Structure 1
Amino acid sequence: MAELFPPLDAAAQAALNRLPEALARVRPLTGAHRRSLPEDIAALSRALTAERAELRRPYWSRPAFVSAYLHYFLPWNLVRLTRLFRGLPLPPPEGGHGPALLLDAGSGPLTVPLALWLARPEWRAAPVQVLALDSASQPLELGRALFAAWGEETGEPVWPVRLERGPLESLASRALPLLRQGWRPWLVTAANVLNEVRPARRGHGSARDDEDDPDAAGPLDELEAGPEDALGERLDRLLAAWAPLLAPGPADMPSAEGAANRVPAPPALLFVEPGTRLGGTTLMRLRELALEGGLHAVAPCTADTPCPLSRGAWCHFTFSPQGAPRWLAELTAAAGLTKRSLSLSPLLLTAAPEGEEGESHSPQPSAREARVLSSPFAVPGVDGLARYGCAPCGLALLEDAGAVASGSLVRLGREAPRRDARSGARIFAPGGKRAPAGLKKKS
């Protein structure tokens, strides 16, 4: 059973335990600010969720919110992303033509590069250059300083970072000078930023959606109506703006030495959004547009087929906060907040099917495997707790799957003769177990 969110290893936990020392070097707190930190964290949490419409200014313009973000929201984002990056079949930075370029759009305080560095210690000494793009300069500067300080605290090498200020759509143009110097796009990333290209909705501000909302309303609640055509247009423009990064570069592009570059393999494209209905459905729409444009889904999808979750469910995964450092758990409790689970929605794309441009980096799922999603829930007439699963055959309802980790890739057992009356999902028992004969409609 392949896990999408394996636990943090001892080395990652040890590095997270050194993060407060790195933060103290970059954003030292006075005694008064340290005492007010839990209250500031709670206030920022309210501003990003229940009181979001009242957030008139970016939180980076308020010193108390900057400290709250760096000491609480950033570490929790590092925990969830590090778990994800340990399980995703990401291509290694070595082995391509020229040094590797990590292009992170909407980087903020370099959350994605920091998490990738934390998750994959075997890549820390690789020839990787980070290009971090954001509309605000302050979080970028803080992130770069934190990256350097964290490397010094742990004694580990860190990747050089180039900062660029601009909108998401400018990523390709800002990368052009590095491409002309011989750097090759390796990984293009964007986390918690697609709401910046989504049409504004009543009751929501412009702040990023960094908070969890793990299955608060159930696995198949109706989605709020929204201007999907306008959203599709904006996402389509974003993909079009990044298209130069996803195609092999021109063979006559001069390198730093004046020689022609060899044509590199296109990079992987990774999006991560919060595991909310908004985050999950936005990624589902992006996936639809990406496949129409010739890109291919690598993970967590099991095939390049139309998404089977179009009936009202949203693509997301929920997992435990296992491995989070004690200091972060204590700070969370002091702020009056809880973290019983973590949630996110990822999408890994590539410009070429695995096997065309290079070898696959992970075993590909078969037609009899499903990616487990949703929280467990009771279904009359089905043994144990059920979960939904995403399979090449479409949406699957998995019997007796309460103990199976969200995001796991599991083998399907025998199929029941009837389908789930509510979702239309095909019903499967775990591998080798007899499937139920029928299913009553869920109440």
Structure 2
Amino acid sequence: MNLFAALPEKERLIAERFDSLIQDIKPLNSKQLAFLPRDIQRLSALLTAERSSLKAGYMNNAVMLSAYTRYFMRWNLFRLTSLFAGMDTTAFDFLKDGDYCLDIGSGPLTVPIALYLARPELRGKKLNWYCMDTSQNALALGENFFLSCAARLQTEEGEPAWRIVRVKGEMGTRIKNKVSFVSCANMFNELYWDTHNPLEKEAKKYAALLLSYTVPQKAVFVVEPGIPRAARFVSLLRSALIRSGMSILAPCPHEGACPMEGKKGGKWCHFILDTESAPKNLQALSEKAGLPKDRAALSFVFASSSPAHQSSSKPAGGKTAGKSAQGASRQHIRICSDPIVLPHGKTGRYACAHWGLTLVTGHRIKDTLSGDLLYADLSAQDIQALPVDRKSGAKIVNV
């Protein structure tokens, strides 16, 4: 089972028609459309190389907001809908009618919209979404886009079951009700990027802040760009959540120490999504902006207070690695890298397992993808006896 999956046909068509939907809500004239690739390129520079020049309320600026929604929001929707669609069918069963959810740094409501598109079973549940951001303009645009999507997916007349409550503020802003689900997408990198505090301290602080919003039975979802520093933060946040009594639903196949924690010079946990299935008009806009994408990367953690929900990180009809042995038990292995060229014309992929960093090799490796969950029937003695890669120190599992 892979972490990612495609949207159903009806939802995919909505994603592909994003341009026309957003144009109906927030139209740009011909001159503004002509300058859009330039504006996207400028915002990209501000979000990366020129980060110190980026103002905190940049999405209150109409030009910046247009560039963000038509490029960055669309790519984030592609990543998140693919991720949410690929999660186990029971992954969101903890959400009940009347529950409250909180999306922090919501911008134009990317997470709620992605969840609405990717998880049809949630659309009929009466969920109350607090969408928190410093930009009221972004929140208003996102709510209108959400309502537009919901109207196209309604099977019966009437208002959508989800209620959006816009909250102007940053993380730490008070809300009226405790929530069952709290999410953050691409938000923390804007908070910890220039901090002088150790990243461990930041992760501990933010984990406590996230949990301060929640009821005893809750889930937390945090996703960040798939780059080393972001992966390091996500790994540290994962550890802080585990110490707070949370269980990991995905992507981890275990709750031991993270073997791909993003330390300097080491491996970092991230997953690559092929962009061939992304909307063609989005790919064309990316080319015009000089920011083409042939792959989309992310690092994330999805945690729950209930161990019963861990089924979302277990394989369903997954691929088997290794051979059955006496006393063996099923061991889960998550693929976390691109193919790696090995000596003697061989290929491998780095992966994560409860025993630590793993190098998966063998003739079937060509059929695996980033994010695949494999399983191997191995006993404790088998694991102890696995050969070790000299370069990385990873245990080698042959498939």
TM-score with structure 1 setting the length: 0.77
Distance 2:290 2:95 in 1: 48
**Identical residues among aligned pairs (%):** 32
Aligned residue type for 1:329: Q
* Aligned 8 A contact 1:144 1:161 in 2: yes
Aligned residue type for 2:163: P
Residues 56-205 of structure 1: pairs in structure 2 closer than 5 A: 56=55, 58-89=57-88, 91=90, 98-153=97-152, 155=154, 157=160, 159-170=162-173, 173-176=174-177, 179=178, 185-198=179-192, 200=194
* Aligned 8 A contact 1:18 1:154 in 2: no
* Aligned 8 A contact 1:302 1:371 in 2: yes
Q: 1:406 aligned to 370, 381, 386, which one?
A: 370
1:363–1:137 Cα change, 3 Å: same
Q: Offset at 1:137?
A: 1.9
1:91–1:238 Cα change, 3 Å: farther
Q: Helix, strand or coil: the match of 2:242?
A: helix
1:337-369: CA deviation from partner (whole Å, max 9, x where unpaired) = 2110010011011123227xxx94564797522
Which residue matches 2:325?
Answer: none
1:53 aligns with 2:16: no
1:342–1:127 Cα change, 3 Å: same
Distance 1:420 1:278 in 2: 25
1:153–1:298 Cα change, 3 Å: closer
1:158–1:59 Cα change, 3 Å: farther
TM-score with structure 2 setting the length: 0.85
1:24 aligns with 2:18: no
Whichever structure has more helix as a proportion of its residues is 2
Q: Offset at 1:424?
A: 1.1
Greater mean alpha carbon deviation, residues 236-245 or residues 402-411: 236-245
Distance 1:96 1:47 in 2: 37
Q: Offset at 1:119?
A: 0.7
Aligned residue type for 2:52: A
Distance 1:175 1:13 in 2: 35
* Aligned 8 A contact 2:253 2:314 in 1: no
1:78-124: CA deviation from partner (whole Å, max 9, x where unpaired) = 00100000122375666766522221111111000011011112321
Q: Helix, strand or coil: the match of 2:68?
A: helix
Distance 1:126 1:199 in 2: 37
Which residue matches 1:335?
Answer: 289
1:317–1:37 Cα change, 3 Å: same
Q: Helix, strand or coil: the match of 2:336?
A: strand
Distance 2:55 2:74 in 1: 25
Distance 2:284 2:94 in 1: 42
1:378 aligns with 2:341: yes
Q: Offset at 1:378?
A: 1.0
Aligned residue type for 2:189: N
Q: Offset at 1:379?
A: 2.0
Aligned residue type for 2:199: L
Q: Helix, strand or coil: the match of 2:150?
A: helix
Distance 1:301 1:44 in 2: 33
Which residue matches 2:388?
Answer: 419
Distance 2:95 2:54 in 1: 44
1:336–1:199 Cα change, 3 Å: closer
Greater mean alpha carbon deviation, residues 47-56 or residues 336-345: 47-56
Q: Helix, strand or coil: the match of 2:166?
A: strand
Which residue matches 2:229?
Answer: 278
1:122–1:314 Cα change, 3 Å: same
Which residue matches 2:220?
Answer: 269
Greater mean alpha carbon deviation, residues 28-37 or residues 411-420: 411-420
1:46–1:374 Cα change, 3 Å: same
* Aligned 8 A contact 1:74 1:111 in 2: yes
Residues 243-254 of structure 1: pairs in structure 2 closer than 5 A: 243-248=211-216
Which residue matches 2:319?
Answer: none
Q: Helix, strand or coil: the match of 2:175?
A: helix
* Aligned 8 A contact 1:370 1:409 in 2: yes
Aligned residue type for 1:427: I
Gaps of 5+ in 2: 317-328
Distance 1:97 1:28 in 2: 36
Greater mean alpha carbon deviation, residues 341-350 or residues 89-98: 89-98
Which residue matches 1:208?
Answer: none
* Aligned 8 A contact 2:315 2:374 in 1: no
Q: Helix, strand or coil: the match of 2:248?
A: strand
Which residue matches 1:387?
Answer: 349
Aligned residue type for 2:223: V
1:380-421: CA deviation from partner (whole Å, max 9, x where unpaired) = 25x632111101121110114244111110123787753112
Distance 2:219 2:131 in 1: 16
Greater mean alpha carbon deviation, residues 400-409 or residues 86-95: 86-95
Q: 1:301 aligned to 252, 257, 273, which one?
A: 252
Q: Helix, strand or coil: the match of 1:375?
A: coil
Q: 1:291 aligned to 242, 253, 275, which one?
A: 242
Q: Helix, strand or coil: the match of 1:354?
A: helix
